Amino acid sequence: MRLLDLLLPVRCVVCAAGGEELCGPCRERLPLLRPPLCARCGAPTAWPVRRCRECSGRRLALASARAAVEYDDCVRRLVAGWKERGLRRLAGEAADLVVAGVERPGVAALTFVPPDRARVLIRGHHPAERLAHELGGRWELPVAPLLARTRQIRHQRGLTRADRRRNVAGAFRPAVKPPTRIGLVDDVYTSGATANAAASALRTGGARHVEVVTFARVVR
């Protein structure tokens, strides 16, 4: 056993059991998202639909959105460990779950929602970028930083769905010309406001088809 393991024993981020950052029993209990799903936004539905109540009537720049797991309390603790505690290896766990539960997107490359530089300095990494690279390796797709931020964005936590959309409207721009078909990666799909704003910027840059892939999704 390494000295570091004695001083800082590895514990599961969900149940705090010793041995692994995500233990086997907790991994098995994660709430996987299974069909039927809304064909557009990926929300669970009673039967297959092209658009559900959550995305019907909204102008969406994204062609589809898919996630591996529902954002419940266990997943929240996993994501918090990955994002806020610097447990970067959990990006690999997240990518394995995405690959197991989400069909490989029909795109030429992957990109990611661009980071807030202040948060990157605090965390020391950008979770969406790390997840994109993990998925790129598994799906054999190139990964490129195609987007940039136009301004500082107020934190989305606690905002209403309408306020979330206003908060991120026009917050991204294309950094370089994207492929016609592109996959956009983020860690969590909450209201879809951030993903849609980023997809809109990709469309402005020349993309015609944007598929969003996230590790987790809030289910209403």
| DSSP code per residue over 106-118 | --SEEEEPPP-HH
- Cα–Cα distance list, 95 to 129, 173, 198 (Å): 12, 26, 21
Q: For residue 157, name the pLDDT band (cuts at 50, 70, 90).
A: confident
Question: Helices (H) and strands (E) in the chain — how many of each?
Answer: 8, 6
Instruction: In whole angstroms, give the CA distance from residue 211 to residue 122.
Output: 29
> Length of the chain, please?
220
Could you tell me which residues come within 8 angstroms of residue 102 by beta carbon, excluding any fewer than 6 positions away? 66, 67, 68, 213
Please give the pLDDT value at position 4.
Answer: 42
Mean pLDDT over the full length of the chain: 92
Cβ contact 22:15 at 8 Å: no
Digit-coded pLDDT (tens) for 69-115:
999 999 999 999 998 888 899 999 999 999 999 999 999 999 999 98
Q: What whole-number distance in Å separates Cα of residue 154 and Cα of residue 166?
A: 10
Q: 44-64 burial, b if ≥16 CB within 10 A, otherwise e?
A: ebeeebebbebbeeeebbbbb
pTM, to two decimals: 0.92
Give tens-digit pLDDT for 102-135: 999 999 999 999 988 877 777 888 999 999 999 9
Within 8 A by CB and 6+ apart from 60, the residues are 40, 41, 192, 196, 199
Domain ranges of the chain: 1-30, 31-217
Query: Which option is the CATH number for 31-217: 3.40.50, 2.60.40, 1.10.8, 3.20.20?
Result: 3.40.50
A 10 A CB-CB count for 151 gives 8
Strand, coil or helix: 38: strand
Confidence of residue 8 (pLDDT cuts 50, 70, 90): low
Instruction: Give the confidence band of 1 by pLDDT, cuts at 50, 70, 90.
Output: very low
Phi, psi (deg, nearest 5) at residue 97: -70, -40
Q: What mean pLDDT do residues 158-166 have?
A: 82
pLDDT in tens, 22-77: 999 999 999 999 999 999 999 999 999 999 999 988 899 999 999 999 999 999 99
Nearest alpha carbon to residue 176 among 140, 212, 210, 204: 204
